[in-house]
A = this chain, B = another copy of it.
Amino acid sequence: MRYYLAFFLCLIMSIPSFSQQSKPYISLAEAKKIADAAEAKALENEWTVVIAIVDDGGHLILLRKIDGTQIGSVEVAQAKARSAVYFKRSTKVFEDGVNEGNVRMLSLPNAVALEGGLPIFKDGFCIGAIGISGVRSDQDGVIAAAGLEVLEEK
């Protein structure tokens, strides 16, 4: 009987422990709420911008281009969001770095050194990012922050 139990335990324990770990992720519904808040902030200031939200792999979940925004911002907004996920930090960190003379950061593939890209964290995981482009980079940053504010609201 004791042997049986041992054998059984052994079986249980030998069941592969593959991918028992899990990580949170962002849904389209959440992305829409973030984008709504960002869009409202942009319209409030009469700023024309592109809003891009990506998942933890840097892949687009949602993009909106406010009428009249320069088309270059379609790519820049995505690049900022991707940069924020790829390096788990605000693109402002790179902008500040470059401004302080760390020009070498410009050679980092996929890094954008302009404010407006913010990572989204949950339980220690970077689950996605928002990228804004269209106005001055500090203004882009204001809109990005406004988007992520909905994550903290009561």
Contacts and interface: CB of A to CB of B under 8 A. Distances in A.
B62 A64 contact: yes
B25 A75 contact: no
Contacts of A104: 94-95, 98-99, 106, 113-114, 137
- Copies of this chain present in the complex amount to 4
A104 B80 CA distance: 13
A48 to B, nearest CB: 10
B28 A122 contact: no
A154 B103 contact: no
Residue among A14, A107, A126, A153 facing the most chain B CB atoms (10 A cut-off): A107
A3 interface: no
B86 A60 contact: no
Contacts of A11: 154
A154 B13 contact: yes
Contact of A25 (B21, B122, B137): B21
Contact of A57 (B30, B71, B122, B150): B71
B28 A72 contact: no
A76 interface: yes
Given A19-B25, A20-B24, A152-B16, A60 B87 contact: no
Contact of A87 (B70, B98, B151): B70
12 contacts: A14-B154, A16-B150, A19-B30, A19-B122, A23-B25, A57-B58, A62-B63, A62-B64, A72-B85, A72-B86, A99-B104, A103-B103
